[in-house]
Amino acid sequence: MYAYDELDHAVINERVDEFRDQVKRRLSGELTEDEFKMLRLQNGVYLQLHAYMLRVAIPYGTLSSKQLRRLAHVARRYDRGYGHFTTRQNIQFNWIKLAELPDALADLAEVGIHAMQTSGNNTRNVTSDQWAGVAPGEIEDPRIWSELLRQYTTLHPEFSFLPRKFKFAITASAHDRAAIKIHDIGLRLHKNAAGETGFEVLVGGGLGRTPFIAKTIKPFVHGHDLLSYVEAILRVYNQYGRRDNIYKARIKILVHELGIDKFAQEVEDEWQQMREGALTLDDAVIEDIRSRFTYPAYEKLPHMPEELRKAAHDPHFEAWRNNSVALHKVQGYAIVTLSLKPVGGPPGDATADQMDAIADLADKYSFGEIRVGHEQNLALPHVARRDLPALWKALDKIGLATPNVNLVSDIIACPGLDYCSLANARSIPIAQELTRRFANHATADLIGRLHINISGCINACGHHHVGHIGILGVEKNGAEFYQITIGGRADENAELGTLIGPAVPYAEVADVVEDIVEAYLALRVRPDELFVDTVKRLGVEPFRERVYATR
């Protein structure tokens, strides 16, 4: 965990005071709605279909049990008893009253949580691998750098009014769990030949109306130069990014229109003029940030404790363990994913009671730490393997032991037309229906890894372009229709999915997905050829035939 010091706390408290004043000026009419809109967005407040929505940042997906309890408190006190975890390590509360927002933010500030820049045309919450610091084979903990970037991007005096939103993601593992290639800036931590830490910098990724996979702008930027290089990119973007058309304002369009080489040259020219400046991070500064991350005092434990041997006789436990438990870098410990995708439930939601219970379990079994991943699930990052059977029982009791992590019912979905004023179609009921269709664990397990992503409109909050199966809600003559893509992926081999044919009506989406999955089961050469690999090998044609032959 990163421990906020009094300086970090001061910024958060001062932001709460400022926002309280902004709300007061809006309520008194001193600020127009147009003026207030920008100010509230800069602090994570949207106006949705039914109410104001507050999006709270969980920087790089790390939460303490104390913080999670406070999120539960906000859900209970100011909302309707639940929260929604998003694809960017945020949590959203959907029913908050404007006049109560400052109090909710003040309650969160007490435990070092804020909503700064979770929306608006500025640098957003910096995201990272939810297994940071515990994943085997990781080069180093990317959260040190995430925190440096969090501080650097918070209330930046030059870049708080960019052409459009701007998102960072960082990974330090070979397997990218942070989806860095669909971010405005993606950072892959690696070491150069001299063993120094630095980053491959990718730029111009993003989904939405015009999706792009990020391109490498520089293969190695030394850690010392990370902030100056990022500033050079932001400065070029702030000056030359398009402001005439909201759909062409993201950096991906600038990179596309200039071409990556020309864009890289602009950034290089800018960087050369300021790289020796005050943004250079010397080792002492980096160490100071590193020193404020604390790690558990792990015990020396066996890989296969007696408790685990005994529990192996229970097939339900084994199904969960095989699915939701991952290898930890320390022997005797495990990373446990908590599925927020129960059969028939809205993806990513957790009730206040569940949050409190998870906080208690984190205290008991995970050194008080919880992680949030972009797949809209949670994780307990430091569970002793001997505790797995007891933890499983406790999770099962609160509905958080569904063994469907990375399986077909582990669906990523945006809130869609049930909440969102931008949506064209519903997302949540589609996800709920699909989880019912694939509720049988044996079947889901047979199908294997398969990511379904659902967005209720072209803004792509459900990342449908990079779902193995992507579902995009569109409106056709007043009715909800859905375009289906296949073959997308968000990891280190990120690709955009391919449309399989004409959009299908709401009532047929689940049938179509079932057809696609059946086609895959018939077409795969081996049980361990993943869906996305079969699509890669065969293309979309056999799937198209199967889906549209009878429609």
Q: How far apart are CA 45 and CA 52, in angstroms?
A: 7
User: By CB under 8 A, which span of 9-17, 413-421, 487-495, 542-550 interacts with another protein?
Assistant: 9-17
**Shortest distance, position 292 Cβ to another protein, whole Å:** 9
* Pair 535, 543: CB distance under 8 Å: yes
| φ/ψ (deg, to 5) at 199 | -135, 135
Among 14, 196, 257, 261, binds another protein (CB under 8 A): 14
* Cα–Cα–Cα angle for 412, 171, 60, rounded to 5 degrees: 65
Q: How far apart are CA 271 and CA 143, in angstroms?
A: 24
In the bound state with another protein, the residue whose beta carbon lies nearer, of 9 and 66, is: 9
Among 47, 51, 98, 155, binds another protein (CB under 8 A): 155
In the bound state with another protein, the residue whose beta carbon lies nearer, of 143 and 177, is: 143
* Cα–Cα–Cα angle for 525, 527, 528, rounded to 5 degrees: 100
Burial (0-12, 13-18, 19+ Cβ within 10 Å), 319: middle
543: left (phi over 0), alpha (psi -120 to 50) or beta: alpha
Among 3, 24, 27, 35, binds another protein (CB under 8 A): 35
Length of the chain: 551
**Shortest distance, position 122 Cβ to another protein, whole Å:** 9
**Shortest distance, position 289 Cβ to another protein, whole Å:** 8
Work out the number of other CB atoms within 10 angstroms of the CB of residue 312: 13
**Is residue 535 involved in binding another protein (CB under 8 A)?**
no
**Shortest distance, position 522 Cβ to another protein, whole Å:** 53
**Is residue 39 involved in binding another protein (CB under 8 A)?**
yes
**Shortest distance, position 539 Cβ to another protein, whole Å:** 44
**Shortest distance, position 249 Cβ to another protein, whole Å:** 11
**Is residue 17 involved in binding another protein (CB under 8 A)?**
yes
DSSP sequence for 16-85: HHHHHHHHHHHHTTSS-HHHHHHHHHTTTEEE-SSSEEEEEE-GGGEEEHHHHHHHHHHHHHHSSSEEEE
In the bound state with another protein, the residue whose beta carbon lies nearer, of 29 and 195, is: 29
Query: What is the residue whose two structure tokens read 């077909």?
Result: 408
In the bound state with another protein, the residue whose beta carbon lies nearer, of 79 and 270, is: 270
Q: SS3 of 191, please?
A: strand
**Is residue 243 involved in binding another protein (CB under 8 A)?**
yes
* Cα–Cα–Cα angle for 516, 520, 525, rounded to 5 degrees: 170
In the bound state with another protein, the residue whose beta carbon lies nearer, of 266 and 387, is: 266
How does strand 504-505 pair with strand 479-486?
antiparallel
In the bound state with another protein, the residue whose beta carbon lies nearer, of 155 and 330, is: 155
Looking only at residues 262 through 291 of this chain, which bind another protein when binding is defined by CB under 8 A?
273-274, 277-279, 281, 284-285, 288-289
**Is residue 238 involved in binding another protein (CB under 8 A)?**
yes
**Shortest distance, position 245 Cβ to another protein, whole Å:** 14
**Shortest distance, position 28 Cβ to another protein, whole Å:** 11
Q: How far apart are CA 107 and CA 14, in angstroms?
A: 13
* Cα–Cα–Cα angle for 128, 157, 373, rounded to 5 degrees: 15
* Pair 326, 337: CB distance under 8 Å: yes
**Shortest distance, position 354 Cβ to another protein, whole Å:** 34
Looking only at residues 92 through 121 of this chain, which bind another protein when binding is defined by CB under 8 A?
121
**Is residue 239 involved in binding another protein (CB under 8 A)?**
yes
**Shortest distance, position 117 Cβ to another protein, whole Å:** 12
**Is residue 258 involved in binding another protein (CB under 8 A)?**
no
Q: Which residues bind another protein (CB under 8 A)?
A: 5, 7-8, 10-11, 14, 17-18, 22, 30, 35, 38-39, 121, 151-152, 154-162, 235, 238-239, 243, 273-274, 277-279, 281, 284-285, 288-289
